[in-house]
Amino acid sequence: MTKNLLIFDVWAPFGFFRRGETTTTSVTYSLMPRSAAEGLVGAILGFEFENSPTKLAAARIAIGIQRPVSKIPFSATYTDTKEIWPRLRAFVEPRKAIPKSRRKVGFRTRVKMEILREPHYRIYFDHPSQEIKDELEDKLAHHKTTFTPYLGSSSMIANFRYIGRPTYETAETSGPIAVSSIVPFFTMMPRIHLRKNVTFAVEENLPIHLTSERALRGTYNAVYSPTGAELEVLDIEAQRVSTQEKEFHVVFVPTESAPE
């Protein structure tokens, strides 16, 4: 059965998709997770955060890397506001006794961080609701958005561009398939047909969804090319996308965790 999907690009000077397991350091994923793509689409459509995970849980999403992955490591200094305001009040109200804190920390904490430099992604989006697809296409085509789109952090405001609405269908082939998106998997990594000057990497524990309480619901792994090149992959279920100019393949990110 032939279907159609929306394609659009999104990019920003910086991006930050924080790994949830990091504590004393703030480390970013190397690529946009599905949960961030859902949040981006929800921001464009105007979905409140508590409603977005439910409305977009069934969406079929593939993510392509349009610019080589580049990270910038640096350090940031955080001010401990729970400690500094009571002490500043002592200067404003010198006669008022300030309770002694039991916390043995200073005013400032130095944290190591990393952010993505000039991330650029291509999003492939399909949804069972025709109304949602039509509304998203209208906003993308007219470059309109309800809430400000960003890549992982509200300070990293993103821009976007509508590409088109081509048809697609499940590809049927026994040989290697050149895939233009990241290739998600759960346990066994897909077999990669190696090519000269084409490298690949693996990113683990990417979030599938974030609930309305910002709790993680499901993870997946992904193999991708850090340069954005196509990977030739064997034994996968890919979607053949047909445009007027060419045909290419993408793989949708899972909508739920693998069964135990």
165 CB-near residues (< 8 Å, 6+ apart): 4, 5, 6, 7, 137
pLDDT greater at residue 173 or residue 168: 168
Q: 12, 8, 7, 6: which is closest to 149 by C-alpha? A: 12
Q: What average pLDDT score do residues 193-201 get? A: 91
For residue 204, give both structure tokens.
């683990």
Which tens digit of pLDDT belongs to each residue from 80-105? 666 666 666 666 665 555 555 555 55
- The backbone region for 130, taken as left when phi is positive above 0, alpha when psi lies in -120 to 50, beta otherwise, is alpha
Write down the pLDDT at residue 245: 84
Write down the pLDDT at residue 142: 97
pLDDT greater at residue 162 or residue 99: 162
Residue 1 pLDDT > 70, yes or no?
no
pLDDT greater at residue 242 or residue 98: 242
| Three-class SS of the chain | CCEECEEEEEECCEECCECCCCCCEECECCCCCHHHHHHHHHHHHCCCCCCHHHHCCCCEEEEEECCCCCEEEEEEEEECHHHHHHHHHHHHCCCCCCCCCCCCCCCEEEEEEEEEECCEEEEEEECCCHHHHHHHHHHHHCCCCCCCCECCCCCCECEEEEEECCEEEECCCCCCEEECCCEEECCCCCEEECCCCCCCEEEEEEEEEECCCCCEEEEEEEEECCCCCCEEEECCCCEEEECCCCEEEECCECCCCCCC
Which range has the worst mean pLDDT, 10-19, 110-119, 123-132, 182-191? 110-119
Which tens digit of pLDDT belongs to each residue from 28-84? 999 999 999 999 999 999 998 777 878 998 999 999 999 999 999 887 777 766 666
Write down the pLDDT at residue 248: 94
Write down the pLDDT at residue 174: 77
Residue 19 pLDDT > 90, yes or no?
no
CA 201 from centre of chain: 17
* pLDDT bracket for residue 24 (50, 70, 90): low
List C-alpha distances in Å: 36 to 18, 126, 150. 10, 16, 9
Reported pTM:
0.86
Residue 128 pLDDT > 90, yes or no?
yes
Q: What is the mean pLDDT of the chain?
A: 87
CA 173 from centre of chain: 29
Domains of the chain: 3-73+115-250 (3.30.70.2660)
By the 8 A CB rule, do 185 and 233 touch? no
Q: What average pLDDT score do residues 181-190 get? A: 93
Write down the pLDDT at residue 232: 94
Q: What average pLDDT score do residues 169-179 get? A: 87
Residue 257 pLDDT > 60, yes or no?
yes
Write down the pLDDT at residue 216: 79
Would you say the C-alpha torsion 95, 101, 106, 112 has a positive or negative sign?
negative
CA distance 120 to 66: 5
